[in-house]
Structure 1
Amino acid sequence: MSCRLIKLSCTALAAFLACICTSAHAADDCFNEAAAYQGVNPWVLRALAWYESKGDAAAIHQNANGSIDVGQLQINSVHFGDLARQGVPHNALIDPCVNVYVAAWLLKQKMVKHGNTWRAIGAYHSETPRARDAYARGIQKVLVTWGQLQSDR
């Protein structure tokens, strides 16, 4: 079954995620398709997954503040309410493809706020300037290591 949708509103996110969950998608397809759907860079999504969990789709992390991070892109529980309102229950985040699509959606929100910038990429992790900037540098290093970005040195 192929689920190719050109444009959907955020409220249609749940229906789209249900469609992809019933399809057999290779992990790479999820990164490429989620990135295309949200208009974000697929290599940035891959770098986020690597930086967050080394690509471990089953990763769960309990944070010191009591929140939890779920899946390869470590979707934080602070987003669970918003996702539930969109029809995406938090237990769906253990599906690798759902996790990638939600991460692409969250990254796109940061890009809408900050533009297509390192600040937006860092804000995927934190809006606090110091943590945001350190995270963005970490993602940049991953992309340079993978040959997807030129080093500025």
Structure 2
Amino acid sequence: MDKMMRKILITLLLTIGISFAEVPYQECFVKAAAQYDIPYQLLVAIAKVESGFRPWVININQNGMSVKVINPKSVEEAAIYLQYLHDNGYNYDVGVGQINARNIKRLGLRPQQLLDPCSNILVSAYILKENVLRYGLTWDAIWRYNGRKDYAYKVYNALISMGAIARR
């Protein structure tokens, strides 16, 4: 990405003051964004793309692709699924920010901790901040949150649909 596009992205994400009144777990997003100095709108857009704000959704991955989505009816049911997946070495993503099993292990977390939406959002912000420190506030940092380059376009479109940025 060229320097001009980076500058435009940073300006758009840092200067727009939209509250997104309809966002579930808004207080959690505000707290996580402030704690890790991540644009609130960007964190919300990522959660919208990743889970549609569903706190217990679990994706099972194979070869870099989601092969099965599990939508538990309760936190207890989600915890049972997670324990099974964890114990059997599955590659999975969990919760609002779809935190991947590799990050769960790397950060020394228990998968069930991430069924709490606020905890999940904090971890999501932390992972995004790691990418921003490595790549700057760029589309490169954003797509690396998910691991696929086309992911940045999904986040961009979510920002547009939420009114955070105007389509050009």
TM range (shorter): 0.7 to 0.9
Q: How much has 1:49 moved relative to structure 2?
A: 0.9
**In the alignment, what sits opposite 2:95?**
71
**In the alignment, what sits opposite 1:12?**
none
Write the letter of the residue equivalent to 1:114.
Answer: Y
Matched, 1:143 2:167: no
Is the Cα–Cα contact under 8 Å of residues 83 and 90 in structure 1 kept in the other structure? Answer: no
**In the alignment, what sits opposite 2:15?**
none
**In the alignment, what sits opposite 1:115?**
136
Q: Give the TM-score, by structure 1 length.
A: 0.74
Q: How large is the Cα RMSD of the aligned pairs?
A: 1.3
Deviations 1:8-29 (A, max 9, x none): xxxxxxxxxxxxxxxxxx8111
Matched, 1:41 2:28: no
**In 2: Cα distance, 1:119 partner to 1:77 partner:** 21
Q: Give the TM-score, by structure 2 length.
A: 0.68
Name structure 1 gaps, 5 residues minimum: 1-25
2:107 to 75, 83, 89: 83
Deviations 1:56-107 (A, max 9, x none): 00101111144000101100001122221xxx32210010000000000000
1:102 to 113, 123, 145: 123
Q: State, as a whole percentage, how many aligned pairs show the same letter.
A: 33
Query: Which stretches of structure 1, 4 residues or more, deviate above 6 A after TM superposition?
Result: none
**In 2: Cα distance, 1:89 partner to 1:35 partner:** 23
Is the Cα–Cα contact under 8 Å of residues 48 and 139 in structure 1 kept in the other structure? Answer: yes
Deviations 1:102-147 (A, max 9, x none): 0000000000111011111111001xxxx22x10011001101111
> Higher strand proportion, which one?
2
Name structure 2 gaps, 5 residues minimum: 1-23, 64-89
Q: Number of paired residues?
A: 119
Stretch moving more, 138-147 or 96-105: 138-147
Matched, 1:52 2:50: yes
